[in-house]
Amino acid sequence: MTMWMVRAGTGGSKVEDFRAKGLVGFGDERLGKLPPGITKAALLQLYADKYPQDKEGSRASWASQLLRLATEVAVGDAVLTYDAERRVYLLGKVTSPYMWMPGVVEGMPHVRKVEWGYEVPRSSVSVTARNSLGAIQTLFQLPPEAAEELESKKVPLGASAPSEPKPKADATESEEAAGLATLRDETVKKADEFIEDAISQLDPYEMQDLVAGILRAMGYRTIVSPPGSDRGVDIMASPDGLMLQEPRIFVEVKHRPTSQMGSKEIRSFLGGRKPGDRCLYVSTGGFSKDAHYEADRANVPLMLINLESLRKLLIDNYDRLDPDARALVPLRKFYWPVLDT
C-alpha cells in the first residue's frame, strides 16, 4: 500500500478546508500552473526565477515536494493529514490527477482531489509509527509498516471513541514508554550534534568571543586579545577583570576542527605560567594522547576543552549568556514529557 502524508498548512490550519472541499493542496500561486510532464530541472529553474532571494537548498526541497504531489502521487493512493485540534489523522484516497485550483484553499493552488472516509486517533498509533509521521516535510511517503498500522486502525469519519480513563500500565504500555525513551535519547543526541555543527561554523575570532561569553556567564570578567599576535593567550579572565584577583585564568582557543593539538602546543602554552594561575586550552579538533599526558603533569591546573566539552559548557550556561554571546550560537529551549518510572 502506498500512503502519503500531506500537512494541512502550519499547525494544520487548513485541515477543515482539506476535509470540507475534499482535497489536499500545496503552495503557491506565484509559480502558476505546472505544465504536463514538468521535470525537476524545469521546476528548480522556475523556483529560482520566482524566489531568487531564497536559499538553493530550500528551493530544492520545495521543488521535490511539489513534483511529488504533481507526478508521483497516483490516483488510488492513500493519503493522510493531521487534525491537531481533534488529535486524529484523516485518511482518504486520491481521486484526481494534479489540478490547478487557485482560490479554493488560500495559498494552496496545486491540488489533488481526495475522498476522505476514515480517521485514526493519534492515541491508537504506536510510538514507532508516530515517529515516522513526525518528518518536517510537507509531503512525504510513509514507511510500509506505518501505512499498514494506520490502515488497520482506521474508523469511519466521526466514529473515534472519546478518551477513556488511562488503564493500569501493561506490557504494551511499557513497550510504548521504552519507545518514547529511545526517541527522546535520539532527539537529544541529534540536537547535541547540530549544536556542535553550529559551533564549528564560527570563525576563529567568533570562537574566542563565545568562550569569553561562557566565562562571563560563569561569573568572570574577561579580556579578549585583539586580532593578530596574542603571545599565546587569547583570553584572560579573573573575578575583577584586571587580573589582580585570583583565580587568574589564561585561555588559549584553537579553532581547527580537523587538527588535534599535541604536547608541543601544550608546553608552549604553559610556558611562563606562575603558581596561582589557572589555564584552559580549547581545541575544537581535540587533543592527542600526548597532549593529555602533558596536561596531567603540568605545574599549574590546566583543563583541556574539546568540542563536546565546549558544547556542554555552552548549554549549561546558556541562560546566563549576554546577548552578544547568544547571538553567536542561537538556541531555543524545547520540552519533553516526563516519562513515568
Same domain? 127 vs 23: yes
Domain end: 164, 196, 213, which one?
Answer: 164
Question: Average pLDDT in the 13-34 region?
Answer: 93
pLDDT digits (tens, 9 = 90+) for 56-84: 998 999 999 999 999 999 999 999 999 98
pLDDT at 277 over 70: yes
User: Which residues make Cβ contacts (< 8 Å) with residue 182, sequence separation at least 6?
Assistant: none
Q: Is the pLDDT of residue 198 over 50?
A: yes
Residue 339 falls inside a structural domain: no
Q: Is 295 inside any structural domain?
A: yes
Same domain, 266 and 120: no
Residue 181 makes CB contacts below 8 A (sequence gap 6+) with 339
- Shared domain for 222 and 115, answered yes or no, is no
**Residue at which a domain ends, from 135, 164, 193:** 164
What grid cell was written down for 69? 504531489
Whether pTM > 0.85 for this model: the answer is no
Determine the pLDDT at residue 182.
78
Among the candidates 164, 192, 223, a domain finishes at 164
On the question of pLDDT at 165 being above 50, the answer is: no
| Residue 277: strand pairing partners | 248
CA torsion through residues 133, 197, 315, 295, sign: positive
Q: What's the domain range around 317?
A: 204-328
- pLDDT confidence band for 164 (50 / 70 / 90): very low
**What would the DSSP string read from start to end of 257-321?**
TT--B-HHHHHHHHTT--TTEEEEEEETT-B-HHHHHHHHT-SS-EEEE-HHHHHHHHHHHGGG-
User: Would you say residue 95 has pLDDT above 60?
Assistant: yes
pLDDT greater at residue 161 or residue 326: 326
For residues 116 and 52, state if they share a domain: yes
Q: How far apart are CA 22 and CA 79, in angstroms?
A: 11
Mean pLDDT across the stretch 274-303?
93
Mean pLDDT of 27-55: 92
**145 lies in the same domain as 276:** no
Residues 131 and 208 in one domain: no
Distances (CA, A) of 29 to 43, 99, 185, 278, 340: 14, 13, 41, 62, 48
The pLDDT value recorded for residue 229 is: 61
pLDDT tens track for 228-268? 765 668 999 999 877 777 888 999 999 988 888 999 999 99
Q: Is residue 195 part of a domain?
A: no
Which residue shows C-alpha cell 495559498?
107
- Note whether 306 and 242 are same-domain residues: yes
Does 97 lie in the same domain as 41? Answer: yes
pLDDT of residue 241: 75
Does 23 share its domain with 130?
yes
> What is the band of 160 on the pLDDT scale with cuts at 50, 70, 90?
low
Domain count of the chain?
2
C-alpha atoms less than 13 angstroms from C-alpha of 203 in its C-beta half-sphere: 2
**Residue 338 resides in a domain:** no
d(CA 190, CA 279): 31
pLDDT above 70 (res 219): yes
Q: What angle do CA 276, 231, 285 make, to 5 degrees?
A: 85
For residues 130 and 271, membership in a common domain is answered with: no
Q: For position 289, which CATH number holds?
A: 3.40.1350.10
Please give the pLDDT value at position 230.
55
